[in-house]
């Protein structure tokens, strides 16, 4: 088993990784800087150019690997990000919107216990029905309603059930991997990077690449996404490229492999966009689009193997996110209208799209449109507004708006989400 150390920004990397070191820098400053940058819809490259520093310098600051050591640069960053008081980057402010963060903690604790091999907690209210299979849980994840608590509870139960005494059969091992990948999805949406990476690591340990190449490709995609979120796009690119090569050379054919290939292409496109490689990102998107058309534009398969494969609107959603990563806000808005998922698309795709667009509108100071977009998410899946880390960031951003009606409606929204 690979030994790991904790990085200052909260992610983990193997011993020997060039950034696996402890700097003594307060990592929360970099996280706040990254959050403000993303809220304003700026790519890392764009902000770095505007403040006269390199993209690599900004990446290291955001990941807690070097300090913000110049008042002049700090002041310039605050000006570009339209932060009235640059001390906001140095200290966190408590607001009523912070209730979102506290409300997620019981769910995080439930998932942490599952990953540590502890017995599952008593089911939350409304989740006491008989245990569900992994395939049924995936359908629940893609459907409207109370997704997070139901999926988290039953996936934790499945993980406990398949782990007692060690998985005895291939079916048990596969169910355990699928449960871990599902927990990874929930934890990623919660913003729990450490636990999400741990879930992926455990899934890889139980997955036989030779016997289950598609499932292994799902594990690789999940690992690449976590590396990307933790600030290691180069490592993420290496993982995805290796997974695509392995999947292309495998004898297994059919819609399952095609679906996994599409998912890997979309993951790679987001990584390339974050690295500023627009042409490479577009080539990957075109490849994914062609594969999806070849399959008739439908979801590749309806079994629980589709944990990380795309739905019919996934290419459009990734196009929007790639444009945002490249700093092309107007293009992202145009693409968002062109590729807006319809009611026939899975709920998670519709919600991901709307939350991303709410962040863009908030970054453009179009607070009314941002709020209306959040209210659309509430109608489809209020759980996402309560638990999704990006949605919580948008709520936090809008809380500081100077438009009184937006603040008032936002307060009502928070009250509805928490039943108060």
Q: Helical H runs in 142-192?
A: 148-163, 170-190
Domain end (from 27, 54, 89): 89
d(CA 65, CA 337): 38
Calculate the average pLDDT of the chain: 78
d(CA 70, CA 265): 40
d(CA 350, CA 415): 23
Could you give the percent of the chain with pLDDT greater than 70? Answer: 80
188 shares a domain with 73: no
Task: From 396, 402, 363, 394, select the one nearest 376 (Cα to Cα).
Answer: 394
d(CA 275, CA 265): 15
pLDDT at 333 over 80: yes
What does the angle CA 6 – CA 7 – CA 12 come to, to the nearest 5 degrees? 60
The number of folded domains in the chain is 4
Please indicate, yes or no, if residue 180 is contained in any of the structural domains. Answer: yes
Please indicate, yes or no, if residue 31 is contained in any of the structural domains. Answer: yes
d(CA 302, CA 42): 37
267 shares a domain with 202: no
327 shares a domain with 272: yes
163 shares a domain with 124: yes
**pLDDT at residue 301 in the model:** 39
Average pLDDT for 169-178: 83
191: left (phi over 0), alpha (psi -120 to 50) or beta: left
Q: Which domain holds residue 78?
A: 4-89
Average pLDDT for 167-186: 84
User: In whole angstroms, how far apart are CA 396 and each of 39, 43, 66, 365, 401?
Assistant: 10, 20, 26, 13, 10
187-196, 257-266, 280-289, 335-344: least confidently modelled range = 335-344
145 shares a domain with 187: yes
12-16, 322-326, 353-357: least confidently modelled range = 12-16
Three-state SS annotation for 343-358 = CCCCHHHHHHHHHHHH
119 shares a domain with 40: no
Average pLDDT for 66-81: 82
Residue found by looking up tokens 């110049």 in the block = 70
156-165, 196-205, 245-254, 268-277: least confidently modelled range = 245-254
Here the CATH number for the domain that contains residue 65 is: 1.10.260.40
294 sits in which H/E element = helix 278-294
Strand, helix or coil for residue 4: strand
When pLDDT is cut at 50, 70 and 90, the band that residue 70 belongs to is confident
Average pLDDT for 309-331: 79
Domain end (from 206, 241, 258): 206
Please indicate, yes or no, if residue 294 is contained in any of the structural domains. Answer: yes
Domain end (from 182, 206, 230): 206
329 shares a domain with 220: yes
pLDDT at 194 over 60: yes
When pLDDT is cut at 50, 70 and 90, the band that residue 16 belongs to is very low
Average pLDDT for 259-278: 91
Strand, helix or coil for residue 14: strand
188 shares a domain with 287: no
156: left (phi over 0), alpha (psi -120 to 50) or beta: alpha
**pLDDT at residue 7 in the model:** 31
**pLDDT at residue 373 in the model:** 93
Task: From 305, 272, 299, 267, select the one nearest 133 (Cα to Cα).
Answer: 305
When pLDDT is cut at 50, 70 and 90, the band that residue 20 belongs to is very low
pLDDT in tens, 107-158: 888 899 889 888 887 777 666 566 667 778 877 887 777 788 888 888 888 8
Confidence (pTM): 0.75
pLDDT in tens, 197-212: 999 999 998 888 777 8
């Amino acid at each position: 088993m690979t030994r790991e150390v904790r990085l200052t920004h909260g992610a983990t990397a193997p011993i020997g990784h060039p950034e696996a070191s402890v700097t003594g820098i307060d990592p929360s400053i970099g996280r706040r800087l990254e959050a403000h940058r993303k809220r304003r819809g700026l790519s890392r490259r764009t902000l770095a150019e505007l403040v006269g520093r390199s993209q690599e310098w900004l990446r290291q600051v955001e990941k807690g690997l070097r300090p913000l050591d110049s008042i002049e640069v700090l002041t310039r960053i605050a000006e570009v990000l339209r932060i009235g008081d640059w001390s906001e980057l140095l200290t966190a402010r408590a607001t009523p919107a912070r209730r979102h963060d506290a409300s997620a903690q019981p769910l995080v604790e439930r998932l942490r216990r599952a990953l540590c091999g502890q017995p599952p907690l008593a089911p939350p209210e409304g989740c006491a029905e008989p245990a569900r299979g992994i395939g049924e849980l995936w359908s629940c994840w893609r459907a409207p309603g109370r997704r997070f608590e139901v999926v988290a509870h039953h996936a934790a139960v499945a993980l406990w059930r398949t782990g007692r005494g060690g998985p005895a059969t291939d079916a048990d091992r596969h169910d355990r991997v699928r449960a871990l990948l599902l927990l990874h999805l929930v934890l990623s949406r919660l913003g729990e990077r450490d636990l999400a990476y741990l879930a992926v690591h455990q899934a890889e340990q139980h997955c036989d690449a030779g016997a289950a190449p598609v499932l292994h490709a799902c594990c690789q995609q999940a690992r690449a996404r976590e590396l990307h979120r933790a600030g290691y796009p180069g490592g993420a690119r290496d993982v995805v490229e290796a997974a695509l090569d392995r999947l292309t050379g495998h004898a297994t054919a059919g819609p399952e492999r095609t679906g996994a290939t599409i998912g890997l292409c979309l993951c790679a496109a987001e990584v390339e966009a974050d690295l500023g490689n627009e042409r490479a990102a577009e080539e990957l998107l075109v490849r994914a689009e062609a594969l999806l058309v070849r399959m008739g534009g439908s979801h590749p398969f309806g079994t629980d193997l589709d944990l990380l494969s795309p739905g019919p609107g996934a290419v459009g959603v990734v196009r929007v996110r790639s444009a945002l990563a490249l700093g092309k806000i107007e293009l992202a808005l145009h693409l968002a209208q062109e590729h807006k998922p319809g009611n026939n698309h899975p709920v998670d795709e519709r919600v991901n799209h709307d939350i991303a667009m709410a962040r863009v509108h908030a970054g453009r100071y179009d607070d009314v449109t941002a709020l209306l977009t959040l209210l659309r998410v509430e109608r489809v899946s209020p759980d996402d507004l309560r638990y999704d880390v990006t949605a919580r960031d948008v709520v936090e951003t809008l809380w500081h708006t100077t438009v009184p009606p937006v603040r008032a409606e936002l307060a009502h929204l928070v009250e509805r989400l928490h039943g108060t």
